[in-house]
Homo-oligomer: A and B are copies of this chain.
Amino acid sequence: MPTPEPGPGPTPEPEPTPGPQSGPEPDGGTGPGPGARTLPDASRRSERSRRAIFDAALALVTENGYAKTTVEGIAARAGVGKQTIYRWWPSRAAVLLDAFLDLQARAAEAMGGDAGSEIPDTGDLAADLKHVLRATVDEMNAPAFEGPTRALAAEGITDPDLGARFTEALLEPQLQHYVRRIEAAREAGDVDPGTDPRLAVELLVGPLHHRWIHRTLPLTHAYADALVDHVLHGLAPRS
């Protein structure tokens, strides 16, 4: 997962969370209904506090792990009142997710443009996929990413809403990059025309995640290469 920016277009920061329900605006936009809970006014939000909260959350998760990261601790470290966290996020996990998305977005922006996240197309499909999968392997092994990512994945397994946000904002965009590259390969005749790109992607990414999540066997570049080789062999144009 070489830190792709979460969407196809450029992401102007800040991207303020619209309300305490970390996610899309729950109110239909037809105005505050009778039962509508009074949402805070996002235009008055303190950008300073928002950044401090993100920084504190990421630092604490990295230092102490997710289980020992508390809302109270984040607030104290950020020099912020607890209420300022509860005003804008519904849970500790939601804070961390937004913090992580923010981190990804800034990293992508720093890398310059969105081109960095697209899978290159050198004409050699195997080489291109190996390049990206190896980068993903490296990222999964990097301590700085491992902590937050494991925490979010774990929370997403249990909490469907958060899992949906996680999948939508982080996972799917990545998978789509693979899908596009394989579609291009199909049009170029590098894989069988009947290939289902989505399934192909899952054949590549699924085993990788499986090892990472369950820590069954070490994640190496060699494993990434072997995966690509086997999958592409199965997808080769049939006679």
Contact = CB atoms under 8 A, between A and B. Distances in A.
Interface stretch (A29-37, A98-106, A207-215): A207-215
A205 B210 contact: yes
A185 to B, nearest CB: 16
Interface string A187-220: 0000000001011101101111111011111000
Contacts of A159: 67
A20 interface: no
A113 to B, nearest CB: 27
A90 to B, nearest CB: 14
A164 B210 contact: no
Interface string A155-184: 111111001101100011001000000000
A158 B67 contact: yes
A159 B215 CA distance: 11
A126 to B, nearest CB: 13
A48 B203 CA distance: 46
Interface stretch (A80-88, A130-138, A230-238): A230-238
A226 interface: yes
Nearest to A156: B214
A151 B156 contact: no
A157 B153 contact: yes
A154 interface: yes
A151 B158 contact: yes
Given A154-B157, A207-B206, A234-B233, A167 B227 contact: no
A186 interface: no
Contacts of A206: 202-203, 206-211
A221 interface: no
B67 A216 contact: no
A101 B186 CA distance: 45
Contacts of A16: none
Among A167, A172, A203, A211: residue with most chain B CB under 10 A? A203
Interface string A63-76: 00111000000000
